[in-house]
Structure 1
Amino acid sequence: MSREQVSSTRIGLPALLWIPAGCALALVVLPIVGLVVRTDLAAFPSLITSPSALNALRLSLLTAAVATVLCLVLACPLAVVLARSRIPGIRLLRSVVLLPLVLPPVVGGLALLYLLGRNGFLGYLLDVVAGVRVPFSTTAVVLAQTFVALPFLVVSLEGALRTAGERYERVAATLGARPWTVFRRVTLPLLLPALGSGLVLCFARALGEFGATITFAGSLEGVTRTLPLEVYTLANTDVDAAVALSLLLIVVAVLVIALARPKAWEGAR
């Protein structure tokens, strides 16, 4: 059989897979359908364009973008260290880095609060030395989002490095390349395929962050009240507005994933 015939051959799927796949899809899609059905479509434009909703959306997009940039700057070096370093205790270090994936976000918010709050050792130093108070500020929102989103990018990049192996870096080192040159010319290109998908996941997670944000940054309109916090606030006073903003958040998240995801996710056609 020729290579062209092999590449054009369609791979069949076991019929049994369609049942759990359909159930999984229903579990994700049907709640969204229920949200759409509950939405007051006639009042939807006015509900999502209210000043508080627009402020919350603007703050969410801004802080999520800044948090994603911070994750990019911090996660790349950390992923390389976790994937390539041979220092003792690297497994324990990896477990600590991945903790935000399994911890309730509220716990992460409390941890940040007791680190950077006025009673935290680092927060106390910042307050005394520089007069800087981080909690209940926009900076606190960015830090909370970075805390919960960083592991998503680390996992993506570390997995890509482990899959690629070390043979290219070893060849470059054998040819006399310095460690920084190996990192810049060999390691970073190996990270690029996973970088796009990791950043999309990172931004989406930061955009939807709630627990750590409300615990560490509070809910101050125009300062720390992101779109998820605005939905939570309205849920107790105006259900129609809360449902409309929930649908808006879903639309924004879907657009971000659909427009920003790399073509590598789509696979060969």
Structure 2
Amino acid sequence: MNEQFWTPVKLSLEIASVAVIIVFILGITLAMWMTRFRVRGKVIIETILLLPLVLPPTVVGFLLIVIFGNQSPVGILFQKIFHQSIMFTWWAALISATIVAFPLMYQSAKTGFQIVDLDIEDAARIDGANDWKVFLYITIPLSLKSIISGFILAFARALGEFGATFMFAGNLPGKTQTIPIAVYIALDSGNMDLAWILVISIIFISFVMLILTTLIK
């Protein structure tokens, strides 16, 4: 029971932690780009970035299989380099979690950047600050609450990812079996004790994450 419980919990926390670091960097970068520069086709690009937020997880999983599957150019390249398929691996679980968590980080960062007064940034530039210093010492501090909220929500979303992960990464204990998948398997096999423990653990973690987002507002 201990191994059946702790293995998916540790794996979920590991994947969610790496995924949230990736989406934190990408989300802030793309949000800054979309809010501070004129981008051709901005509406289309932003719609694509936010699609995983509204698409059914099974559709996301299907698209990941099409893009990274064994017959796709990306999948073939991955096999040539690493001598294995990307599907049904730890990396597949990470990609799934990253894709579904990204929109929350991006949208929160974008909201934070939009509320920053551009006159304050311009004043800093007049005083001699370059764009990097303006971003680091003006933009980020003034939008910090939104960024932190996005970070927490993205982590919680990555932790709870099921559909895309199950389709793309499969159910391999110790490799791709995250908490949501372990709950499904435990319920399917009639192991209600394990299912309840896993459900309570992820509810507790998610509850704490939501409390944190409420406290920082």
TM-score between the two structures when normalised by the length of structure 1:
0.75
Q: Is the 8 Å Cα contact of residues 196 and 262 (structure 1) preserved in structure 2? A: no
Q: What residue identity is the alignment partner of 1:193?
A: K
**Structure 2 counterpart of 1:21:** none
**Structure 2 counterpart of 1:249:** 202
The gaps in structure 1 that reach 5 residues or longer are 1-48
Show structure 1 runs of 4+ deviating over 6 A: none
Task: Note the C-alpha offset of 1:130.
Answer: 4.3
Q: Is the 8 Å Cα contact of residues 171 and 177 (structure 2) preserved in structure 1? A: yes
Q: 1:149 aligns with which of 101, 105, 112?
A: 101
The structure whose RCO (Cα within 8 Å, separation 6+) is larger is: 2
Per-residue CA deviations over 1:94-148 (Å, capped at 9, x if unaligned) read: 1111001111111111212222221121121122244353221111111110100
Q: Is the 8 Å Cα contact of residues 115 and 143 (structure 2) preserved in structure 1? A: no
Q: CA separation in 2, counterparts of 1:251 and 1:130?
A: 38
1:236 matches 2:181: no
Q: CA separation in 2, counterparts of 1:231 and 1:264?
A: 31
1:113 matches 2:65: yes
Q: What residue identity is the alignment partner of 1:79?
A: A
Q: 2:55 aligns with which of 93, 96, 103?
A: 103
Task: Note the C-alpha offset of 1:176.
Answer: 3.7
Across the two proteins, how many residue pairs are aligned to each other?
216
My pick for the range that moved more, 109-118 or 200-209, is: 109-118
RMSD of aligned alpha carbons: 1.8
**Structure 2 counterpart of 1:183:** 135
**Structure 1 counterpart of 2:145:** 193
2:196 is paired with a residue of what secondary structure?
Answer: helix
**Structure 1 counterpart of 2:178:** 226
Q: CA separation in 1, counterparts of 2:23 and 2:179?
A: 21
**Structure 1 counterpart of 2:3:** 51
Task: Note the C-alpha offset of 1:200.
Answer: 1.0
Q: CA separation in 2, counterparts of 1:248 and 1:184?
A: 36
Task: Note the C-alpha offset of 1:239.
Answer: 4.9
**Structure 2 counterpart of 1:40:** none
Larger radius of gyration: 1
2:198 is paired with a residue of what secondary structure?
Answer: helix
TM-score between the two structures when normalised by the length of structure 2:
0.91
Q: Is the 8 Å Cα contact of residues 169 and 176 (structure 2) preserved in structure 1? A: yes
Task: Note the C-alpha offset of 1:175.
Answer: 3.3
Q: What residue identity is the alignment partner of 1:110?
A: F
1:82 matches 2:34: yes
Per-residue CA deviations over 1:168-197 (Å, capped at 9, x if unaligned) read: 222223334322232222222223121221
**Structure 1 counterpart of 2:18:** 66
The gaps in structure 2 that reach 5 residues or longer are none
Q: Is the 8 Å Cα contact of residues 160 and 191 (structure 1) preserved in structure 2? A: yes
Per-residue CA deviations over 1:57-82 (Å, capped at 9, x if unaligned) read: 11111111111111111111011011
Change (3 A) 1:153 1:175: same
Q: Is the 8 Å Cα contact of residues 112 and 144 (structure 2) preserved in structure 1? A: no
Q: Report percent identity of matched pairs.
A: 33
My pick for the range that moved more, 133-142 or 123-132, is: 123-132
Per-residue CA deviations over 1:202-231 (Å, capped at 9, x if unaligned) read: 111111100110111001011000010001
Q: What residue identity is the alignment partner of 1:140?
A: A
Task: Note the C-alpha offset of 1:149.
Answer: 0.4
